[in-house]
Amino acid sequence: MKIDLLNQIRETNPVVLNISNFVTVQDVANGINAIGASPIMSEEIAETDEMVGISNAVALNLGAFSKPQVDHILAMGKAANAQHKPLVIDPVAVGAISYRKKVALDLMNQFQVDVIRGNAGEIAALADVAWDAKGIDAGSGNQDVVEVAKAAAKKHHCVVILSGETDVITDGEHVARVFNGTPLFQLHVGSGDMLSSIVGAFCAVSDGDYFEAAQTACLVFASIGQLVADQLQEERPGTFSARLMDELHLASVADIEKIAQFD
Ligand SMILES: Nc1ncnc2c1ncn2[C@@H]1O[C@H](COP(=O)(O)OP(=O)(O)OP(=O)(O)O)[C@@H](O)[C@H]1O
Ligand SMILES: Cc1ncsc1CCO
Ligand SMILES: [Mg+2]
C-alpha cells in the first residue's frame, strides 16, 4: 500500500474528468477538490476529445443517464482509451435495473476500463453472480465477496473494487482488503460516487499500477471517514458529510497510517 500517493495528488493536482449524476455532482466535485485533485465535469459530447486531452484520469458514473448521455459516455470512454488516460467506471444500480446492466455491458464492450468501483450488488451483477441488490444499495447475498470481485475482474479484464464494510480490491488474481470505514458512509448518498472519482485521482498519480492506486484510494477514503466518525459523539449524517470534506483536505499520510487496517 503506497499511502504516499495522497501526497503526490496534493503536489501535482491532477485533473479528473467526470461524467457525474445530477444527484451527487456537487459532492463529487468538492470531494475531488478537497483531497487535492482538480475536478471537471462535462455534459457536451462535442468537447470530448479536448476535455480528455487536458485530463489525467476519467471517471464515468452511470448514476442517472438518458440516451444522449450514453453516446457521450461512450465517446468519453473511447477517447480515454485512445489518449491512454486511466478510466474508472461506477456502474450505479446495475444489480437492480436490468436496463442499466445492459447499457453498462454494452459500453464496456466498446472501451476498456481500468477500474470498476461498485458495491456488492453492482459487482455481483457484472460477474453474473446471484445477488439481491436493492436500488443504489448493495442489498444482500450469500456469496463470498472476494470470489464475486475476482470473477468480475476476470470477466472484464480490469481491477475491481467491491466496496462495503470491507472493501475488496482485486485484479482477478491478487486480492487486497481494506477494513477501515464507518456505517455513516451509508447515510450519505454519494459516498460511493465520491470514492469512484477519487480512485481516478489516485490512478492519475500511479504510473499505471491501477491495482495499487485502487487499494490506496480505498484505504485513504475509508480511513478518513472513520477518523471523522470517531470524532462524533453520535450518528450525525449532516455533520459527517461536512466534516468528511474537511478531513479529505486536512488528513495527513501519518493520520491515515495510524488507523489503517488492510491485508
Ligand atoms: N457498513 C460499512 N461500514 C464501514 N464502511 C462502509 C460501510 N458501507 C460502506 N462503507 C464505505 O463507504 C464508502 C462507499 O462505499 P459504498 O459501498 O457504500 O458505495 P455505494 O453503495 O456505491 O454508495 P452510494 O450510495 O453513494 O452510491 C466506501 O469507502 C466503503 O468502504
Ligand atoms: C440516489 C441516486 N439515484 C440515481 S444516482 C443516485 C446517487 C447515488 O449514485
Ligand atoms: Mg453507488
Among protein residues, the one whose CA lies closest to atom 8 of ligand 2: 190
CA dihedral 14, 118, 18, 42 (to 10 degrees): 180
Query: What pLDDT digit, counting tens, does each position of 50-90 carry?
Result: 999 999 999 999 999 999 999 999 999 999 999 999 999 99
Helix axes 98-110, 67-82, angle to 10 degrees: 30
Instruction: Give yes or no for residue 191 CB within 6 A of ligand 1.
Output: yes
What distance in angstroms lies between residue 19's CA and the mean position of ligand 2's atoms?
13
Label residue 242 by pLDDT band (50, 70, 90).
Answer: very high
Residue 202, phi then psi, degrees to nearest 5: -70, -40
What distance in angstroms lies between residue 29's CA and the mean position of ligand 2's atoms?
15
**Of all atoms in ligand 2, which is nearest to the CA of residue 192?**
9
Instruction: Give yes or no for residue 183 CB within 6 A of ligand 1.
Output: yes
Instruction: Give yes or no for residue 195 CB within 6 A of ligand 1.
Output: yes
Please identify every residue whose CB atom is under 5 Å from ligand 3, which is an ion: 92, 192
Half-sphere exposure of 220 (CA within 13 A, CB side): 34
Q: Which residues make Cβ contacts (< 8 Å) with residue 153, sequence separation at least 6?
A: 116, 159, 160, 170, 171, 172
Please state the rounded mean pLDDT for residues 32-43.
98
Please enumerate, by residue number, every residue annotated as part of a binding site: 41, 117, 163, 190
The confidence score (pLDDT) of residue 101 equals: 98
Among protein residues, the one whose CA lies closest to atom 19 of ligand 1: 192
Question: What's the whole-model pTM score?
Answer: 0.98
Instruction: Give yes or no for residue 64 CB within 6 A of ligand 2.
Output: yes
- Domains contained in the chain, CATH given: 5-259 (3.40.1190.20)
Query: What pLDDT digit, counting tens, does each position of 185-240 carry?
Result: 999 999 999 999 999 999 999 999 999 999 999 999 999 999 999 999 999 999 99
